[in-house]
Amino acid sequence: MKKDKRSPILKPPLLSAALFVMLLLTFTSCRNTGQEKEGAETEVPSYDRIVMTFIVDERQTIRDELPAVSEELNRITREEIGAEVELLPLTEKEITSRFPLWMSDQEAIDLVFIDNNEIGQYFSQRMLLSLDEYIYSPEIDTEALTNHREDLTKGAVYHGFTYGISNVDDSNIYGRCFVVSEEALRRAGIVTDPAKVYAMEEAGEIFRTLKAENEGVYPACSMISEDGSLTENYVSPFYTSSSKERIGVDYDMKSGQFFSRYASSYYLDFIEMQRSWYLEGLLYPDLLLSDYTPKELARAGIVLAYASDNSPEHLSDSGFSDGAVIMNMTKSYRETEYVGSGYWTIPKTAENPEAAVRLLNLMYRDTRITNLLTYGIEGVHYTVTDAGKGLIKGERKADGTYLYDNPYPVYGSLEQAYKRMAPEVFEAYLSWKEAAQPVTDPAEGLSWPADDYIEEIQAVQEAVRLYAPLLESGSADLDVYYPRFLKALSDAGIDALIAALKQAAK
């Protein structure tokens, strides 16, 4: 029953005090209730945090675009896997140098992409987590990974445990060429045949003509990779095993023999020709010291040709402003397995390995991730020109380079991603894939105890990293450095690796 405010039960002073206490209690109650409602309405969702390396080039040309790309990535991952991703932009060299420091400092890094050559080293040094516990967990969606597990993990399984998931390149075609300035060829009166496979001697004659017609410009540029050179693959008469170990062992399908690539007569012939080209001034001399890619050297007008794989897609962005042609140096072969350049791994210091595996699965299941990290944001960095064929046109800067140009497209499977090509180039690309000769890796299904030879494999790879770029760039004196290279390979144990492969092939 409501009391009359004039009730004689309480005297006026006491009444005022009582009313004050009642109002204070009511206000406090309402305030608390409001705060509870407000807290419930504005509660921030909790997301797992994944720290992932993002490979950039030496000049980190896409760093300015990463914040917007990162936000778009997190918009997808929050919804799909309940996680936020922090992209850590680093060069390949920085990742290699920092990995041991991350381990010693207990740095929380959840996903790291490492080169094919390095996974054995990191495994032997106990820096990686096995992925099997998470890949086969009923609590995690890993269908995209397990459906292709054998392909994606080949070369990353040690003692029965999985330590890496391979990226998938946009094609499994093996073929090499020189990409040459079309305008330079026209001025020199040279007509090339796109169907022909050129010998090194023929390429040399073309480069000599280009040098005579273009004073102050280098006719060609070799391609040297940071982890050891792969240039010899451009002229190898043998099918080179795509074994992820990359141990410098080739296989002659006619004789059925494994042998040391670097001790072969064709390798010696190749480096002798590279040395001759270098001394003639046919090759750009500072490649080993330069931070610029061959394509950037072409764009700057410093070189007129550079070595590359022979996919027609290079014609869409050759670096040559007046167009380019492809001068094939090998036939094209289509491998029967996935081809990747490295592995996604989870370091031992990872804080959220389960979330990292969920992200990996999403990367291979949802092409939005691959397209985003490879080409940037639709409507900002590119426009879709043909949705049915998956073709896009990249936005360019004033200097002709792409606004978002990722030189390391290692995120998921590029086979299902967009293609940044003009329609006519895409048709040539399809024809190129169709015409490639199918070939099976001679090491496919070959069970050899690579786990027992980790030290030898690492030592061989280190010898290749040290000597091959010098020899294949033409900049080293062969009489001095080639014998040293062969001795380093012998000391590393390459003969033991060849013997193990031969024994396994019996």
- pLDDT tens, 403-459? 998 988 999 988 889 999 999 999 999 998 888 887 766 655 566 777 788 889 889
Average pLDDT, the chain: 84
- Cα–Cα distance measured from residue 155 to residue 253, given in angstroms and rounded to the nearest whole number: 22
- Cα–Cα distance measured from residue 376 to residue 374, given in angstroms and rounded to the nearest whole number: 6
Has residue 463 been placed in a domain?
yes
**Pair (325, 351) in one structural domain:** no
**Pair (325, 362) in one structural domain:** no
Reading the block at residue 386, the tokens are 């043909």
**Pair (480, 378) in one structural domain:** no
**Pair (369, 472) in one structural domain:** no
Reading the block at residue 264, the tokens are 């072969």
Residue 399's Cβ-side half-sphere holds a number of Cα atoms within 13 Å equal to 11
**Pair (109, 227) in one structural domain:** no
Q: What is the pLDDT of residue 17?
A: 46
Has residue 460 been placed in a domain?
yes
**Pair (183, 328) in one structural domain:** yes
Has residue 28 been placed in a domain?
no
- Residues 359, 81 contacting (CB under 8 angstroms): yes
Q: What is the pLDDT of residue 320?
A: 93
- Cα–Cα distance measured from residue 321 to residue 298, given in angstroms and rounded to the nearest whole number: 9
Q: What is the pLDDT of residue 169?
A: 82
- Cα–Cα distance measured from residue 392 to residue 313, given in angstroms and rounded to the nearest whole number: 12
Has residue 16 been placed in a domain?
no
**Pair (186, 261) in one structural domain:** yes
- Give the end of a domain, one of 391, 423, 456: 391
Dihedral, 300, 301, 304, 309 alpha carbons, nearest 10: 10
Residues facing residue 343 across a β-bridge: 114, 166
Q: What is the pLDDT of residue 461?
A: 85
- Cα–Cα distance measured from residue 180 to residue 220, given in angstroms and rounded to the nearest whole number: 8
Reading the block at residue 258, the tokens are 């494994």
**Pair (280, 363) in one structural domain:** no
- Give the end of a domain, one of 326, 357, 391: 391
Domain count, the chain: 2
Has residue 409 been placed in a domain?
no
Residue 7's Cβ-side half-sphere holds a number of Cα atoms within 13 Å equal to 10
Task: Show the domain range for 72.
Answer: 48-169+338-391
**Pair (357, 210) in one structural domain:** no
- Cα–Cα distance measured from residue 53 to residue 40, given in angstroms and rounded to the nearest whole number: 35
Q: Residues 341-358: pLDDT tens digits?
A: 889 999 999 999 999 999
Within 10 angstroms of residue 6's Cβ, the number of other Cβ atoms is 7
- Cα–Cα distance measured from residue 342 to residue 179, given in angstroms and rounded to the nearest whole number: 25
Closest CA to 448 of 258, 221, 182: 258
Has residue 219 been placed in a domain?
yes
For residue 211, the domain's CATH number is 3.40.190.10
Residues of the chain with pLDDT under 50: 1-21, 23-25, 226-230, 241-244
- In 207-252, the DSSP E strands lie at 249-252
Has residue 77 been placed in a domain?
yes
Query: Could you give the percent of the chain with pLDDT greater than 70?
Result: 84
Q: What is the pLDDT of residue 223?
A: 64
How would DSSP label each residue in 438-474?
EE--TTTT----GGGGHHHHHHHHHHHHHHHHHHHTT
**Pair (357, 329) in one structural domain:** no
Closest CA to 186 of 218, 210, 211: 210
**Pair (311, 458) in one structural domain:** yes
Residue type, 94: E
Closest CA to 299 of 278, 322, 283: 322
Has residue 451 been placed in a domain?
yes
Alpha-carbon distances, residue 450 vs 143, 259, 455 (angstroms): 28, 17, 10
**Pair (285, 367) in one structural domain:** no
